[in-house]
Each structure stands twice: as structure tokens, then as C-alpha cells.
Amino acid sequence: MFVKLRRLYLYATERRETKTTLSFMQRDDFPCTCLKTMEKLISSSYKERPFPETYIFPPDARPGKLAVPLCNNIPVIDLGGGAEEASESDDRRTYILEQILKASQEFGFFQVINHGISEHLLSETMRVFKEFFEELPAEDKASLYSEDPNKSCRLFTSSSTGNYDGEDVHIWRDCLKHPCHPLEECKHVWPQKPIRYGELVGACSTQVKELASNILELIGEGLGVGAGYFRDELSQQMLLSVNYYPPCPEPSLTLGLPKHCDPNLITILLQGDVNGLQVFKDGEWIGVEPLPHALVVNVGYQLQIISNGKLKSAEHRAVTNSSEARISAGFFVMPSNDCLIEPAAALINASNPQLYKGFQYKDFFLNFGTKLGKTEQVLDRFKLQARLAS
């Protein structure tokens, strides 16, 4: 069932019969094949070649040389309480709920602290991602490299991401993607090395999914649709995207990720300790300050639609720098591909007419894939234009 649900998703589809334990070392042409494959990664070749023109974004999309300040206005929500006046359990829950709703309405982005996931687990998980990209020998990663977006677990680079706004532009990023929930149905496709990968990523995925479910319960309760509204099909899957942004010789000309909103329900991000995440707010880009052991939460398009526009999915991007690599890990909670998405009935009335029509999630995602760099157009197909014009 899970494989069927993943089939149309860009980065996680049908299960392969080939054994993932097959070693490239058994092949006579291993050294040549391995090196040729791994040289496609930016992290393997950026020091040895001039900056490629295909990574230069159109002028209006480049980050430029003007420094973007880190902003302390993006809400930081203490899930352990954080309000002296909210001394009782019910009061604390209400206070946290109100803070999450406000942040989701005004920013579409917030950070959470005291979230229940141990600092040790987060640190070690980020450490194993660093080991994978920077320390693992090429022969241990080559079998994972694929330019086939239908492969369940794959390592790839910008050479296979397509174009941006009609132009053949690549992004300055290497990436490892694989499903991470339901755990028992997908863990077998994960990297076998580093040895600690399965244990750490499995534990982190489980706890992140629980955190996301708790946040969604609060959002459902705050919206008035019920704490359990986002359970089951609406949050059935979760995908992990580990992004590796090598130092870039021309950070003003390219991007690690272009401007976009997430197509899924909600995203939990481990952004690491290197600056790079930026959010578009009130006509300008602002930097999201990395806070020790905090997690970034952002509203996806599906939450915006289900809330009938009450919650906002914020545009964001990843910029590069010339001095140090940046690693981030996004956990994307999403509906099943066949799940019907529509504004919650409880949020529609004479004063708040329905803004979006119903659709299957797979249809939304296929449309999303054709609108890279055109965030203002993503929702057009799904709006009830007559209602908006009235």
C-alpha cells in the first residue's frame, strides 16, 4: 500500500528487486565507474573546476551581495510552556496553541524549543549526515547515486533537478532523499553506511513524526476542526531530505534552493548551525537564525488549503556561502497520494466562503513540479476563482 502511495511522488516510488547490499567492488570496472558517478556531485568537484555558468540564476532571482540580516522576529515557541501566567496544564496548552496559530498565520514559519527530542539524538543524527557526505568513501555511496526520481532512496545532485522558471539553471546542492515513515515499510532502502545511520535516523524520524503529530493536533484544535483532524491519510507519509551545500565560490549568483513553498502538510527542519535559511516576509528576505537544538517548523501548502487560507505557507530559500559547508535535514509530513484535500467544512460559512476546490494530493504535487520558481502560480489551478472575485 505504501509503495502505491509513493508511486507518483517525485523522490520516493516503486520498490526495486535489486539487493541494496550488492557491492560495486564485485565489478571489474568499479574504480572507473565509481569515480565517474561520484564526480557528478558538487561536493566532489567544486574545488577542481571553474564555477559553471549553468548555476547562475537569472538576475531577479539571485541573492546578490547585499547581506540579509538574521531576524529575531520569527517566533520561537517553547513547547514546555514558556509563560509564567500559564501555570496550569490546560493554560500552558492553550498558550502554546495560540502561539502556534499566530505564528502560522503571520509567518508560516516558527522555531520550537523544549520539543522533547534530546539534544544528543539531534546532534548525533546531524553528525551521521556529515559522516555520510564528508567522510564515507565514494565506493560506499556510489550505489545510491541515481538520476531516476522514482528511486525510493537516492543520492543526487543539481544536475538532475530540471530547470528554474524556464531556464536551464541548476542549484548548488547535493541531496540524499528517502521515505522515513512508516518506518517498518521503508527502512530497508536506507543507506547501510555509516553503520549508525539506521539506528540514529530511525530514532530521530520516529520522534520527529510524533512531534509533528502533536503540533498538528494543536493546530486542529486551534482551528476548531478537532485535535484528530490531521491524523491518518492527511499525515500518512514522511520523507527525509538531507541537503548538503558545499562552500560556493560565487554565493551571490546561485542558490542552494530557490524560492518556494513546501507542497506538503507540514515540515520539521534540522537546519544545523550554519546560516542559510531565509524567509520572504513583507517584501524582503530575512534570515532564520540557527538556535542550538531548536527545530524549524513551516506550514505547507496543504495546511494553507485545509485551513481555507487562515494559515499561510511562507516562501523560503537556501543561500550558500564561500567559507563552509552547510547541512540541513527536512522531514516532510504529507498526505497519501490519493487523499482528498479540501478546505475543512467547519471553516466555511457565509463570511468565509470556500477559497479552494477539492483535489487529490497527487494532482497537486504533479502541478507543483511544473511551477518551480513560480510560487505565485502554484495555487491558481486549485482556487475557486468565482468565489475569489465575488
CATH classification at residue 359: 2.60.120.330
| The predicted structure's pLDDT at residue 386 | 45
Residue 159 pLDDT exceeds 50: yes
Q: Which of 160-169, 238-247, 360-369 has the highest mean pLDDT?
A: 238-247
What pLDDT, on the 0 to 100 scale, is given for residue 11? 37
Cβ(75)–Cβ(99) below 8 Å: yes
In a domain, 312, yes or no: yes
Confidence of residue 81 (pLDDT cuts 50, 70, 90): low
pLDDT value at 141 more than 80: yes
320, pLDDT greater than 90: yes
The confidence score (pLDDT) of residue 8 equals 44
> How confident is the model at residue 3, as a pLDDT?
41
Mean of pLDDT values over 110-130: 98
pLDDT of residue 372: 61
Mean pLDDT on 122-148: 95
Greater pLDDT, 168 or 371: 168
Q: How far apart are CA 45 and CA 179, in angstroms?
A: 28
In this structure, the dihedral spanned by the alpha carbons of residues 219, 220, 223 and 224, taken in order and rounded to 10 degrees, is -150
- Answer yes or no: is 20 within a domain: no
339 is a domain residue: yes
Q: Which residue has the higher pLDDT, 5 or 92?
A: 92
> Is residue 23 included in any domain, yes or no?
no
Question: What is the total count of domains within the chain?
Answer: 1
Q: Are 295 and 211 in contact (CB under 8 A)?
A: yes
- Rounded to an integer, what is the distance from CA 36 to the centroid of its chain? 29
pTM: 0.88
- Find out whether 270 and 205 touch, Cβ atoms under 8 Å: no
Residue 146 has which C-alpha cell? 541515481
For residue 301, what are the domain limits?
Answer: 2-12+30-389
Give pLDDT, residue 79.
96
At 166-216, the pLDDT tens digits run 567 899 999 999 999 999 999 999 999 999 999 999 999 999 999 999 999
> 379: Cβ–Cβ under 8 A, 6 or more apart, which residues?
301, 304, 305, 356
Does 18 fall in a domain? no
Whole-number percent of the chain with pLDDT over 70: 83
